[in-house]
Structure 1
Amino acid sequence: MGFTKSVIHTIAQNELAKVFKALSHPARIAIMEYISENPGCICTDLVQTMELAQSTISQHLNELKAANLLEGEIRGKKMCYTINLDKWYGTKQLINDYFISTSK
């Protein structure tokens, strides 16, 4: 969505759309599940677990990082991934608020 269209929506609406877009692929859901169970894992761990190429997993990781759902810490030459819990819990609250406000 272009900037000119995003300004007509609330911050919460734009934030939810960004997170939902990042989570809209089943591989990204699987990646988030894996990282939640294996914090500090590296891309190679994901490649060995999933039937996806390293480049594909890297693209999905980039999408999740762009939505601020993942944090990465460089250890040596490797990037170790964890879930950004502040963002995750904030998103959970936004989703809860959204469902409460739309189910009246």
Structure 2
Amino acid sequence: MTNRADLDTVFAALADPTRRAILTMLLEDDMAVTDVADPFEMSLAAISKHLTILTRAGLIAQEKRGRVKWCKLQPDALRSASVWMQGFGQFEPVNLDAFERFLATELGSDTAEASE
């Protein structure tokens, strides 16, 4: 069972939009720290601080391969938070594949309507 301190750490990490964006990027694949930093208008040191927070929360793992440090998503911490929220009975598990199809359909509809 996940303890309160673990959940506090996970939710604190998820509270920042930059960290949520980083997690979204890592859904696709492992990334080098420099590639994670590219889309953000902040220093590599600032990105490293965000990555440290995500690592401490157990949301990502960092591994050095040669000279490059890589980041990898660790879904277990998110799973624990999701299970905790489901305990309230108001939150259904999120089916990310279905959500992605919904967004594609909605965005496709918006694009088609705009071109008419």
- Give the structure-1-normalised TM-score: 0.74
Q: Are 1:100 and 2:99 counterparts? A: no
The share of aligned pairs that are identical, in percent, is 28
Count, aligned residues: 90
Q: CA deviation at 1:91?
A: 2.5
Larger Rg: 2
Secondary structure at 2:89 match in 1 = helix
What SS does the aligned partner of 1:81 have? strand
Q: Which deviates the most, 47-56 or 10-19?
A: 10-19
Distance 1:66 1:60 in 2: 10
Counterpart CA distance in 1 for 2:89 and 2:55 is: 28
Separation in 2, partners of 1:95, 1:15: 14
Structure 2: gaps spanning 5 or more residues: 91-116
2:69 is paired with a residue whose SS is strand
Hey, what does 2:101 align to over in structure 1?
Answer: none
Given candidates 5, 23, 48, the residue that maps to 1:14 is: 5
Alignment correspondent of 2:33: 43
Runs of 4 or more consecutive aligned structure 1 residues displaced over 4 Å after TM superposition = none
- Tell me whether 1:86 sits opposite 2:76 in the alignment: yes
Which residue number in structure 2 is paired with residue 67 of structure 1? 57
Cα distance between partner residues in 1 of 2:5 and 2:34: 32
Match of 1:30 in 2: 21
Shift of 1:11: 5.2
RMSD over aligned Cα, in angstroms?
2.0
- Unaligned 5+ runs, structure 1: 1-9
Q: CA deviation at 1:84?
A: 0.7
